[in-house]
Structure formats: C-alpha cells, structure tokens
Amino acid sequence: MEKLSHHRYQLSGAILLFFVILSLGDHELMVCGENNLMVMGQNTTGEVEEFQVGVVIDANTSVAKVWLTCMDMALSDFYASHKNYKTRLVLHVMDSKNDVLDASSAGMVSLTLPPIHHVTALHLIQNVKVQAIIGPTTSAQAINVAHLGKRYQVPIISFSATSPSISLAQNPYFIRTSINGSSQVNAIAAIVKKFGWREVVPLYEDTEYGHGVIPYLMDAFQNINTRVPYRSVFPSAATDDQITQELNKLGKMRTRVLILHMLSPLGLRVFKKAKVLGMMNKGYAWIITSGLGTDLNSFEPSDIETMQGVLGIRPYISQHKEVAAFEGRWKIKFRKEYPDIERKLDILGIWAYDTTWAMASAVEKPSNSSDILRMGPQLLQDLSNFKFEGLSGEFQLVDRQLQSDAFQILNICGSGFRDIGIWKPSDGTNKLNLQPVIWPGDAKDKPKGWEIPLKDRKLRIGVPIKDGFNEFVKTTNISCNGTKYDVTGYCIDVFTAAIEMLPYCVPHEFIPYKKNESGKAGSYYDDLVHQVEVQKFDVAVGDVTITATRSRHVDFTLPYTEGGVSMIVLVKKDLSKDTWVFLKPLEWKLWVTIGAFFLLVGVVIWILEHRVNREFRGGPHSMYQWGTMLSFSFSMLVFAHKERVLSNLGRFVMGIWLFVVLILTQSYTANLASMLTIQRSDPTYNDVNQLIRHGYTVGYQEGSFVFGMLKRMGFDESNLKSYKSPAEFDEAFSKGRSEGGIVAAFEELPFIELILAEYCDKYMMVGDIYPYDGFGFVFPKGSPLCPDISRTILSTREERRTEDFKKRWFKGERKSCDDDKDPYGSSNSLTLGSFWILFLITGICSALAIIAFLTVFIYENKQILIDPSATTRNKILNLLKRFCEHDENRLITYFEHPACSDQNKVVDNRVHAAKISIDVVDSRPRIHASPMAGNVSARSDNSNAEMGNYTTLGADYNIASGNCTPADSNTGTYVGEL
C-alpha cells in the first residue's frame, strides 16, 4: 500500500508538474551577485563556476521581499570581499504561494494534489538540479520539504521555520539557521515567575508551528509550579465567529494570564477580537512568543494599537555598528526596489543575510577547485562545521541549528514598543530584571493573574456545621426559612483578617455545608474538601486539618494552628509529698538574705542594748553573749524572744524588723499552704498498644480524620466512639469502661487545648504527638488565591493577631496540665525581687540607728577624743573600754510579782538616783533611793530577786508576802540590781 501510494503521488506530481511550473514561471527569479547570471563576481583567473541553490518562499509577500533583499545584499557583500573565490551562488527563487498542508490533507496525500511548496521544491531538485534549498517559510512547509531533502540528499536550510516539531533526527538533511522555538520557553517562564502568576492559559494555532512548542512550554511551567488549567487552540483559518467564541470561553474563566503563540496573520486577528470583547483592559496580562515578537517591526499602527500593554519576546541581536550600517544600506536598496512598500528590517532578514553568507562560504574550497560541484552530504558537513561572526552575532550550528544567546523582552505601548529587559540562558527562571511595565488598560500595577469572572458572583466559601467546639466555627440561623446564617468563630476571624489584607478586593459569602447523614463515619470533613475539588465551593474554611490524602486533590494554605494528634486520659492522684517541700515557698536567694538580716539585726540590737541592758552585758568574746544575740535574733521569727529591748533605738530597729518578719512569715505560710494543696497526677493509661491489646473503647471527634487514623493504628471500629462537644467528651469518660464509656480519646492539639482549659484538673495529655499539620484553608488545585492567602496568614501571625483571636474565643491562654517532674516548681517560689524593698528599709533603719548611737556615744565621751596627751590608738581603745562599761547614769528597774499584774507594764525605763542605801528590814534587804526623775518600769517574768523599798516621783509600791500595795509617797519595793 505504501508503495502504491508513493507511485500515485509521483503520478499526480508528474501530471501536474507541467501546469504548476507554468503557473509559477512568472515567480521564478534568478539571482547571482548583482543580478547577472554569467559574469557576477569574476575572479582573477576569469573563471566563474555556478552553484545552484533553490529558494522556496512566499515571494509575493512584503516580508519575503525584505528577506530576498537581504539575501541579495549578502551575495554582493560576500563576493565583493572575496573576489578570488571561484564559485558563485545562483539563487532560484520560486513562490510557494503561502501554501500549507494541513492535517486533514496530509492524511489523504495519495488521493489529492501535493502542496505547491512541495512541487516547487521537487521541480528545483529534479529539473533545475539545485544542490541546496533555502526555505520554505513556515514550519509546516519545512517538514514536507525536509522529506524531499532526505530522499534526494539535498540540504534544506531554513531561517524562518522555528517549530521544534521538525525532528532533526528524522530529517538528517534539514538545517535550521534560526533558533529552535523551544529555546524561548524558559524566557517566558521567567516572566511568569517574575510576576508571581500561578495560572496561565496558552493560545496557539492548530499547525505544526503552534503545536510544536507547547509540550516544552508545559514543562517549563511545571518547573515553576505554574498551573495550566486550559489550552485554547485556534484553527489556522479560523473565522471571526470561531475566534469570538473561543475568546468568550476564556473570558468566563478566572485565569487572566494569556500566552499567545501564533504567527502574525492569525495572531493579529485574535488581538482585534480580544480588544472588542474587553480582554485588552485592566486585569489581563498577555505575552506573545517570538513568532509575533520578531514581526513587530512590520505591524501597522492599527495593529500596534490593538496590542497595547502586551509583553513579548524575540531573539536578542546586539545593535553594533555593523548592524546599523547594514540597516542603513538596506533601507536605501529596499526603497529603491520597492518604493510603494513601507517595511522595517527584522530579525529574520538578518538571519537570511547570515544564511546566504554561510552558504557562499561553505560552497567555496579554494584549495580544491576541481571539487566545486560537491554533492549534498559534503555540503551538509561543511555547513554544520562552519563558524563565523555574522550580523546576528556568532554564527555556529550546534546539532544543525543556530543557538540563541539571549531574548529581548518587549513591552508594546504608545505607537511602538520598548525594550524592558534581556533574558539569558544562564539566568534560568530566577534572575530577571525588568523596567516598569505598562499593562493592558494603561495599568501600572501588575495584574494579579486571576479574578472571579462574573461581577455579580461572590466567592463561595463552604463552612462546616458543628454541634460542638463552636469556638472554632459557629453557624447561627438568622432567617425563618433557614437560608441565611451568621458564621463566626476563631477560624472565621483568621480567614477574614487574611482576606482583608489582600491588595485587592475579593467579595465572598459563607455557605454552611450540611452533613450527609448517610455518609461514612469520619467522612464529613473529607466530603467538605471534596466539594471544593468538584468546585461546588471556591474555598472551604473551618477546622479542616491538612493531610497528605486531601492535599492530592486540593491545595491548602499554610497552617494557622498548631498541628498534631495526641491522647487524652483521666488523671489519678498521687498524694505523696516532697520531703523538702517546706523549703519550696521561698527561693534560696531569699532564704540566704533572711538569714543574713537576722544576724544583722541581732548584732545591731546587741550594740544598742549592750551598755544599758543587763541581758546584753558581757564582752564580745563571751559565748553567752553570742548565744544570747543569736537566740534573740532568731526567736523574733516566732515572736518568742524573752530579752527585753529597753533602748529607744533598739526598739525602733526591732519594730521595723518585726514588721518585715510578719510579712515574710505570712507570705511563707500562704505559699506553703498553696503548694501543699497541689497533688501530683499520673495518667490512668499511657500506652496505646495496651488499649489496642485489651480492646478498650476510645473516643474521637465526630467527622474527624482521626477515625481513619485510629483504624490504621489497629483499633477495631467497634471500639471507636464519637463525641460532638466537650460536654459529650466528659460524659463519655464519666460513664467508665463498664458502662460503655471511653478510657481514652484521641484529639487534635487545638481541641485538646480547648478541653484542658475547661477540665484541666480532670484530664491530661499523654504519649506521643502524632505529626500532622494544623488547620488550613482549602482551595482548588492550582488556585492563585491560595498562595496570596498563605502570605497574609503569615502576616497575621507575625502581627500576633491570631493570638488576639485566641484570647477572644478561648478565653485566655492555654492551661498546662502536664505532670512536671517538680510539682512545686521554682516558678511558684517567692523570690527576693518580691521583698527587696523591705530589706532595703531594714538596712537603712539599722544603719541610721547605729549612726545615731555612735553620735551620742562619741558626744558623751568627747573628753576622750580631745585629750591631747592620748594617741589615736589610745583614744580608740579608751572608747572601746568605755563602750564595754556599764552606764551608771542609766538605771534599769523592774517590778516583778504576780500580784502586781495591773502594773505589769513599762512606765519608764530610767530612774535617776542621787542617793542609794541598803539596810535590812524584817530580815530582808531594803533599798532606799532619793529620786531624781521618772516612774517605775515593770516586767512580767518570775525570776528570783531581792525586794526593797525605793522612792519615785510617782506612786510608790511595797511588794512583800505576795501582796502589791501602794506604799507611802516616799517608799516602794524594788527588785533588781542597780
């Protein structure tokens, strides 16, 4: 059959060849040097050989005339600078009449006429005997002609067919002196990544050129995590209605980033219709590939007007002086030959120039003039290895195609376009610096890349309906017919705050999702996620946990809560106490400070009382005095000191210190009592395997994915019991195992936080935390809104707004119910910082008392200091001796007798006596004193002492035989020592 088809094809071509050549005869053009076939470029020997090269091109188009002019100039320039070369290229130009073999005609090639470009190429090979063909124009034409090149071993060189669908491996005689269209996809991907677009839609024509680059474009977008939700294909000969219909379909989609990969004829028609349909307004982003980008110089002003704000790319050619000079000469020549055509030099024209130059160089081999008419394989090898510096830059073929160093990024605005950046292969998709862009609709802010297509439609947000744990999501029916709900809760507040921080407005509405009563256990939230996948909802907001299974079907934002699952059990009390708990109420620094101040106050009072109080008499080396001082100091802790402080300064210091001691003891007692009420707690169960092994019933929250997790862990479904709220949770535990209750519950950390805040003293979290992400908002796969919301969630967390929402809905911070190793932890101990001001006051008062005492003491003994005969050392020693002496001018008196209880109070501690005598009355010693001033001072102890009479300025008392009776005005009973 293949052989028959081949013969039919040859037969059809033979029959029609004559007629086709007749129809093309007027379009054949012989070009050699300066249009002279015989003598152009004559060398020094006068011998010129011709090398026949065919050119298959759409000769009647204005762009083809640009290319032919460039080729003509290339030959003139080459042979002008290589006059000694013995070969001359003869270009046989034949018009392909813009003929394209479409897919349908390709399948019936044996029954239909061959395309004109195929016939022209065959004519050039068989009749003109060309040894190479330049062209044809399009990729579809190039594929057909490349088959002829393979068959006849004639190199086919194309500077305009860029489609990667032309397989160089299957067409070994095809040479591409332009870039491969696949080399531009990374530049396009870099633009998309630069502006953060997550969804794009390619628009391309249904030809070899259109389809060839799309697989490479998809791979490039996949590498930057950009989704392609739809591909828009236009027939190469699409009608206006077909274009309008397809553009309307695109307008109803949310994606607003459109990649146009078409040739100029169809591409310009698409832009004109898009402008009419409002798709060239603000919010859209258009990017054109190099096919249209290289033709921008040839577009009419009206075409540019319809493309305002479009970004485009085209191969970058450095504008060095050689290019500028060539462009000037080309303009003169083109206007001379085609005065009625307004065109600009384009990149393909420069490639045509370099291609022709390379051909002229490759066919010449000065060292071997006898092998001028070389055949195809040798020419193919010579061209593949040829290298020179052309107008477009370094001309070097790698795998028989030109390599592109960079792409120029253009922005169409005003009456033309401007260069906004250069992309190089070394940049990849990460480095791209662009100047400011003017977008469609004369917008200066980049389009976000998507939008809700219908203006009267809001974002549909599905929320769960919960019977418990309403702190997270609460739905309240606010209408009689049940169609309107008020949705509140922690999750709602976080989402609202996040969506309000977006730089654009997103109208939205919350729609409660009713539970499917016939659904499987634990499937409610999976069903809610599925509604987003099937686009019943645009978003799902609530206490939806991020899991691997769910993320295969939808996209989640970053988590906004703590993640993980753990076990909750009842606590059992451990009443054992810490042996050293009595030291815990105060930290060690406070204990040390208290001890130091006890010693300090004891020393201060001893100094103040030493000269006037018998209880504090004795030298500093006396062990009795040290014992007295220490016992007095530490007994003040319980107010049990028996020594009486008699000096005013001593009373002042002791009063301050007793006040401090009172505060310390009361604080210590309160804190110790609080600590002793803390009871250590241990879990009733802490081994999950024990629960599974014994078949104990455990709980989970209804509708949660935890149900599936427990089944995978090995729990039998019959041992799983659901609850809806914290109250049902507590009730299930309260029933106990014997009454069908649960012994443990598995819950997510945010819910555990809520449960323990309410039942902190009853339950505790134990065991491992199973790693799961926290709650996230659910979006369809590839949604461009998802990453924007994730970024705003991060902002709300950094600003601690989520903490404010927690305080609002969870009534404060989380309580810690963990069983610490130290139940009376140091965090509960009173610290020195709480009492430092009291110790400061005590120290200052003690210092002032000592200063006052020393001032009076030194003043009273100033004669020692002013003694001129004593040395300083003697003065100091004399002062110390005087300090150790008893102060005879200060008589300390006491009344003591049980019968004198009414007078058992301090009246005065000084009785100044001018004359004292002792005699014996009734076998008892009597003391007679002439008073100077003051009343009596009494004390309440029962120590043995001698009784006597003395005279005071006030009432006199006579103590004898257990009676305390007033004496006459001049006598009284004295007990004590003078």
Is the pLDDT reported for residue 28 higher than 80? no
Q: What whole-number distance in Å separates Cα of residue 3 and Cα of residue 7?
A: 6
pLDDT reading at 954 higher than 90 = no
Counted residue by residue, the chain has a size of: 978
Rounded mean pLDDT of 597-624?
Answer: 73
Residue 967: pLDDT band (50, 70, 90) is: very low
Asked if pLDDT for residue 198 goes beyond 50, the answer is yes
**Per CATH, the architecture of 459-561+782-808 is what?**
3-Layer(aba) Sandwich (3.40)
Residue 503 has pLDDT above 60, yes or no: yes
Dihedral angle at the C-alpha atoms of 888, 889, 895, 901, nearest 10 degrees?
-140
pLDDT reading at 899 higher than 70: no
DSSP string, 615-633: GG-S-TT-HHHHHHHHHHH
**Which of 924 and 645 is assigned the larger pLDDT?**
645
Output the six-digit token pair for 469. Answer: 């744990």
Concatenate the DSSP letters of all residues of 732-791 into one string: HHHH-GGGT--SEEEEEHHHHHHHHHHSTTTEEEEEEEE----B--EEETT-THHHHHHH
Q: What is the pLDDT of residue 708?
A: 85
Return the pLDDT at 719.
Answer: 85
Can you list the pairs that 110-114 forms with residues at least 24 positions away whose Cβ atoms lie under 8 Å? 110/4, 110/5, 110/8, 110/9, 111/8, 112/12, 113/12, 113/16, 114/9, 114/12, 114/13, 114/16
909 pLDDT tier (thresholds 50, 70, 90): very low
pLDDT tens-place string over residues 408-459: 999 999 888 999 999 988 877 677 888 999 999 999 989 988 876 655 578 8
Tokens representing 572 are 């059992």
pLDDT band at 166, cuts 50/70/90? Answer: confident
Q: Is the pLDDT of residue 723 over 50?
A: yes
Q: How much is the average pLDDT of 631-643?
A: 65
Residue 889 has pLDDT above 50, yes or no: yes
Residues 531, 513: contact at Cβ < 8 Å? yes
Give the model confidence (pLDDT) of 203-221 as tens digits: 999 988 899 899 999 999 9
CATH number of 567-572+681-772: 3.40.190.10
Q: Given a cut of 80, is residue 20 above it in pLDDT?
A: no
- Domain boundary assignment for the chain: 49-107+117-176+322-402, 183-316+405-427, 459-561+782-808, 567-572+681-772, 581-676
CB 915 within 8 A of CB 930: yes
pLDDT at 945 exceeding the cut of 50: no
Average pLDDT over residues 711-726: 86
Examine the pLDDT at 578 and tell me if it is beyond 80.
no
pLDDT at 703 over 70: yes
Q: What confidence score (pLDDT) does residue 286 get? A: 97
pLDDT band at 942 (very low <50, low <70, confident <90, very high): very low
Query: b vs e for 897-921, b when ≥16 Cβ sit within 10 Å of the residue's Cβ?
Result: beebeeebeeeebbbebeeeeeeee
- What's the pLDDT score for residue 557? 92
Query: For 178, which DSSP code?
Result: S
More confident residue, 114 or 795: 795
Q: How far from 558 is each of 676, 750, 787, CA to CA, in Å?
A: 45, 16, 8
pLDDT of residue 272: 95
Which one is predicted more confidently, 70 or 824? 70
Lowest-confidence pick of 455-469, 801-815, 884-898: 884-898
- Mean pLDDT over residues 340-369, rounded? 82
Please say if the pLDDT value at position 133 is more than 50.
yes
Per-residue pLDDT, 385: 84
Q: Which of 194-198, 457-461, 516-520, 879-883 has the highest mean pLDDT?
A: 194-198
Classified by CATH at the fold level, domain 49-107+117-176+322-402 comes out as: Rossmann fold (3.40.50)
- 10 versus 474: which is more confidently predicted? 474
Indicate the helix (H) or strand (E) that contains 421.
strand 416-423
pLDDT band at residue 39 under the 50/70/90 scheme: very low
The whole-number average pLDDT for the span 923-952 is 38
Question: Across 53-62, 925-934, 941-950, which has the greatest mean pLDDT?
Answer: 53-62
Crossing angle between the packed helical segments 264-276 and 240-251, to the nearest 10 degrees: 60
pLDDT at 589 over 80: yes
pLDDT of residue 117: 62
Q: Does residue 638 contact residue 910 with C-beta atoms inside 8 Å?
A: no
Sequence-distant (6+) residues with CB within 8 A of 844 are none
The set of residues, in sequence order, having a beta carbon less than 8 Å from that of 780 and lying 6+ positions away, is 532, 533, 535, 538, 554, 555
Quick one: pLDDT at residue 372? 43
- Comparison of pLDDT for 720 and 40, the residue scoring more: 720
| 8 A C-beta contact, residue 775 and residue 806 | no
Token reading at 302: 């009206």
* pLDDT tens-digit series, residues 262-301: 999 999 999 999 999 999 999 899 999 998 998 888 888 9
What is the pLDDT confidence band of residue 878, given thresholds at 50, 70 and 90? confident
Residue 102 structure tokens: 């479409």
Decide the pairing of beta strands 963-966 and 778-780.
unpaired
pLDDT band at 1 (very low <50, low <70, confident <90, very high): very low
Gap between the Cα atoms of 126 and 816, Å rounded:
93
Which residue has tokens 């300025």?
953
CA atoms in the 13 A half-sphere facing the CB of 324: 4
Residue 335's pLDDT is: 92
Q: How far is CA 819 from CA 576, 743, 824, in A?
A: 14, 19, 11
* Better-scored residue on pLDDT, 684 or 715: 715
pLDDT band at 231 (very low <50, low <70, confident <90, very high): very high
- For residue 96, is pLDDT > 90? no
Integer Cα distance of 367 and 133 in angstroms: 25
pLDDT tens per residue across span 641-700: 656 777 788 788 888 888 888 888 888 888 888 777 655 566 777 778 888 888 888 888
Distance between CA 877 and CA 885 in Å, rounded? 12
Q: Is 939 in contact with 951 (CB distance < 8 Å)?
A: no
Residue 968: CA count within 13 A, CB half-sphere:
1
Spatial contact of 125 and 133, defined as CB atoms under 8 Å apart: yes
The order of strands in the sheet holding 416-423 is 232-234, 201-205, 257-261, 285-288, 311-315, 407-413, 416-423
Equal fold, 49-107+117-176+322-402 vs 183-316+405-427? yes
Alpha carbon distances (Å) from 501 to 102, 201, 505, 671, 802: 52, 27, 9, 48, 14
The fraction of the chain above a pLDDT of 70, given in percent, is 74
Q: Work out the average pLDDT over 598-609.
A: 82
16 versus 69: the higher-pLDDT residue is: 69
Q: Give pLDDT, residue 83.
A: 86
Query: How many whole angstroms separate alpha carbon 218 and alpha carbon 225?
Result: 10
| pLDDT for 946 beyond 80 | no
Query: What's the pLDDT score for residue 492?
Result: 92
Whether pLDDT at 818 is above 80: no
Distance between CA 194 and CA 197 in Å, rounded? 8
Of 358, 282, 340, nearest to 78 by C-alpha is: 358
Please give the mean pLDDT across all residues of the chain. Answer: 77
CATH fold of 183-316+405-427 reads: Rossmann fold (3.40.50)
- State how far Cα 338 lies from the chain centre: 61
Average pLDDT of the residues in 944-957? 37
pLDDT average, residue stretch 811-818? 50
Most confidently predicted of 147-151, 425-429, 862-866: 147-151
Q: What is the pLDDT of residue 926?
A: 42
Q: Smallest Cα–Cα separation from 777: which of 451, 499, 414?
A: 499
